[in-house]
A and B are shown apart, each in its own frame.
Chain A
Amino acid sequence: MERREFLKAIALAGVAATIKISNPLSVLAQSGQNLTTGLPYDLVAVMGGEPVEMFRRAMTEMGGMEKFVKAGQKVVVKPNIGWDKTPELAGNTNPDLVAEIIRQCFAAGAKEVVVFDHTCDDWRKCYKNSGIEEAAEAAGAKVVPAHEESYYREIELPRAKNLKKAKVHNALLDSDVWINVPILKNHGGAKMTISMKNHMGIVWDRGFFHKNDLQQCIADICTLEKPAVLNIVDAYRVMKTNGPRGKSAADVVNPKGLFISTDIVAVDTAATKFFNQIESMPLEVVGHLAKGEELSIGTMDIDKLKVKRIRI
């Protein structure tokens, strides 16, 4: 109960702050909740804090984890654990952030929280060296393997253009809700890897994506029947060049950002614009954004959304 009080207090503080800043959009925001999502904001962006701190603030603005995770639910938290890299090298999602998300899921009454990623490097090394396995397990989550085809089963994607079916990880298919937690990175092929690209870690056959128009397939997989209830973009550390793997620490900057939205295209658009300030990244070259909009999985028109911006 203490936590809830605390969260409420934070929420109130947030509201107060919003009134103070009072830009046209936040005024709009105060006019009420989004009618389709029932949420106070469509997108919350935070800057300048530590990962856990930024996430707590953002989540409070979003109305709390209880809005997304209900008591007794099976939850999947899907970070990016693609590479055998330490957190400082920003190849994988921040482990502290992942742990905090898991704790909040349990606080909201989740029965079980499962974490996995179909890694690129040897999965045992990725899980370990990313720090995510340890952090997630300490937070009470079950960290499950995803390196063998038998962990996946096929689903149909009727709305997709090229990727008509895909083998998706059982844990995700068997969950009640899932939360997408990518890290913001430059990507040699897809240009950016954020929430939409993070879906390549829930499927078995990534080769198909690369063979059949990568940008289209990234958009296609996002049409799956069970979209993530939340997309939480970790931009605390950002790999600005040589992504998604990176060569050295020189590829990493520390702009301390975090973006949350239920709209996957919107949050990726926002994150791309944020990234564009570090390295030039016009929205047009990140092909999967427009293709996602075309498949009506979200909007690139952030200006039409109720956005909450927080600076810490």
Chain B
Amino acid sequence: MWRTLRILVSVVFFALITFYFLDFAGISGVRSFLPRVQFIPALMAVSGGILVFWIVLTFLLGRVYCSSVCPLGIFQDGIIWVSKRWNKKKKYGYRPARNVVRWLVVGGIGIAFLFGFTFVLSLFDPYSAYGRMATDIFRPLYLVGNNGLAWLFTKFGNYTFYYVHVTILSTFAFLIALLTLGGVGILAWRSGRTYCNTICPVGTVLGFLSKYSLFKLRIDTAKCNGCGLCALKCKSSCIDSKKHRIDYSRCVDCFDCIGNCRQRAIAFSPLKKGKPVENVVKVTDESKRRFLVTAFATALVVPKAMAQEKVGAFVRHKAYKREYPISPPGAVSTEHLLKHCTACHLCIAKCPSHVLKPAFMEYGLGGMMQPKMYFDDGFCNFDCTVCSEVCPNGAILPLTKEKKHVTQVGRVVFLVENCIVNTDETSCGACSEHCPTQAVTMVPYKNGLTIPQVNPEICVGCGGCEYVCPVRPFRAIHIEGNPVQVEARRFKETEKKEVQIDDFGF
């Protein structure tokens, strides 16, 4: 029963969240609770309710998050399922826990995070890692599939499917996603939930809580004949059948063992059965304790000022042309983004204007793969607030349309020496045409021509001008990023005057 429920929930959850990442047509809607209930996003967004829910649930039932909700966990279960069908004789077996490695990873991520290297947390957070796999690998494939259908249908004059632009947005992010897919995939194929029980920081923390959970998989020693079948089938390698012991810090509540036990000796229950055999690994791991104490002490004594200084230094890292990268509207500042974003790439997947892509070094080492705006394939739609609505981490804070209209992510810079009106003395005005606030206006030039004039104060930094400027190789107009987003001065509304015309004029 438990196992069926777990499979049902996990399949539905996985299918929904994967489709949510892939869907470009808005079928799954803009907002979704699916990423918001994930552990690290809830932690980053300081969503107290969700965190309390997971902690309470883990104290109650153990690591159900890992088997039913975590997309990377369910993804691994998928691989494991295939691997078992590939090799019918696949066997697992008990392995001792690598607790030092586990806590080293948690400590390392924590310290790196405090020093502004959110990148390390981004790498290991299972939700974000899966988000990147979905956005940077599965999504392009999904789009290619769609384009195949579009080609076929369009050929017959049916436009139900339309072509979409397919691109690998960032080689670096793609490679990281590929490495995650390969690494986690191979580990899962060969030895089950190794990632979750050796590396995953969420697994380690929830595993620690699970040791004290009320409901546990318990071996009834009166019934158990020590055949070891449960251990052979345990993808977490956490059942020591000889000693009738289960390491609950690694048990992900998959409930496979229950059905595999021919003696019906395993049950998910709050009560122990049979003669009192110690189920919980009680051996105190001294080295782990020492490590934890030192790690947290170090973390606490690191002065905040020092951390911020470091962040500042990384953010000021010069990019190619732009002095500052342009963060998505609602990100508050590059520093806020750096501290909250774990690069799940949901905003990138959902941006309808193709204006967000993963950064490389623009935000510095600590902010690698976080979203930045770029204007090669599009520009930020004036009325659109999608990225701010979907962000589960609170890295991009929700904006209303009105607030978005005055959120200045960057400011326009015009290079008259590159402008076609100046160099070729022909009409253009493409930049002004796209400008929603008329921060770029066309003013009289020579021979009845008009040339752009910029007013950075009212510019919001949408990049319409930069995107559309036809001059190559160097555009005549671009956006310089604001390290701290500010409120743009509202453009002056001219008074609405109704004009009365009585004649045709010709």
Q: Residue A49 at the B interface, CB < 8 A? A: no
Majority secondary structure of chain B interface residues (helix, strand, loop or mixed): loop
Tell me whether B429 and A190 are in contact (CB under 8 A).
Answer: yes
The digit string for B36-54, where 1 denotes a CB below 8 A from any CB of A, is: 0000000000000000000
Tell me whether A144 and B163 are in contact (CB under 8 A).
Answer: no
* CB neighbours of B312 from chain A (8 A): none
A147, B162: Cα distance in complex, Å: 9
A281, B504: Cα distance in complex, Å: 14
A240, B435: Cα distance in complex, Å: 16
A284, B494: Cα distance in complex, Å: 27
**If the complex has contacts A187-B433, A188-B429, are A211 and B501 also in contact, measured as CB distance less than 8 A?**
no
**If the complex has contacts A148-B164, A213-B424, A215-B427, are A247 and B436 also in contact, measured as CB distance less than 8 A?**
yes
Nearest chain A CB to B358's CB is how many angstroms away?
A: 21
Q: Residue B290 at the A interface, CB < 8 A? A: no
Size bin of chain A's contact surface: 35 or more
A45, B503: Cα distance in complex, Å: 11
* CB neighbours of A211 from chain B (8 A): 420, 470-471
Q: Mind listing 24 A-B residue pairs with CB under 8 Å? A: A84-B383, A124-B26, A125-B352, A125-B383, A150-B151, A188-B450, A189-B428, A189-B430, A206-B430, A207-B468, A207-B470, A210-B430, A214-B426, A216-B426, A247-B437, A250-B493, A252-B496, A257-B501, A270-B506, A274-B505, A274-B506, A277-B503, A277-B505, A284-B448
Name the residue on A nearest B158 (C-beta).
Answer: A142
* CB neighbours of A251 from chain B (8 A): 494
* CB neighbours of B506 from chain A (8 A): 45, 269-270, 273-274, 302, 307
Nearest chain B CB to A248's CB is how many angstroms away?
A: 5
* CB neighbours of A250 from chain B (8 A): 493-497
Q: Residue A199 at the B interface, CB < 8 A? A: no
Q: Residue B225 at the A interface, CB < 8 A? A: no
Q: Residue B272 at the A interface, CB < 8 A? A: no
Q: Residue B167 at the A interface, CB < 8 A? A: no
A252, B498: Cα distance in complex, Å: 8
Q: Residue B441 at the A interface, CB < 8 A? A: yes
Partner pick for A124 among B159, B352, B428, B441, CB 8 A cutoff: B352
Tell me whether B493 and A122 are in contact (CB under 8 A).
Answer: no
* CB neighbours of A47 from chain B (8 A): 501, 504
Tell me whether A84 and B438 are in contact (CB under 8 A).
Answer: no
Tell me whether B433 and A253 are in contact (CB under 8 A).
Answer: no
Name the residue on A nearest B430 (C-beta).
Answer: A210
* CB neighbours of B442 from chain A (8 A): 188-189
Majority secondary structure of chain A interface residues (helix, strand, loop or mixed): mixed
Q: Residue A121 at the B interface, CB < 8 A? A: yes
Partner pick for A210 among B435, B470, B503, CB 8 A cutoff: B470
* CB neighbours of A244 from chain B (8 A): 433
Tell me whether B448 and A122 are in contact (CB under 8 A).
Answer: no
Partner pick for B426 among A143, A150, A215, CB 8 A cutoff: A215
Name the residue on A nearest B352 (C-beta).
Answer: A122
Tell me whether A241 and B448 are in contact (CB under 8 A).
Answer: no
Tell me whether A270 and B504 are in contact (CB under 8 A).
Answer: yes
Tell me whether A213 and B353 are in contact (CB under 8 A).
Answer: no
* CB neighbours of A190 from chain B (8 A): 427, 429
B70-124 contacts to A, CB under 8 A, are: none
A151, B154: Cα distance in complex, Å: 9
Nearest chain B CB to A35's CB is how many angstroms away?
A: 23
Q: Residue A70 at the B interface, CB < 8 A? A: no
Q: Residue A309 at the B interface, CB < 8 A? A: yes
A309, B163: Cα distance in complex, Å: 44
Q: Residue A1 at the B interface, CB < 8 A? A: no
* CB neighbours of B352 from chain A (8 A): 122, 124-125
Partner pick for B494 among A150, A187, A241, CB 8 A cutoff: A241
**If the complex has contacts A213-B424, A215-B427, A270-B506, are A188 and B441 also in contact, measured as CB distance less than 8 A?**
yes
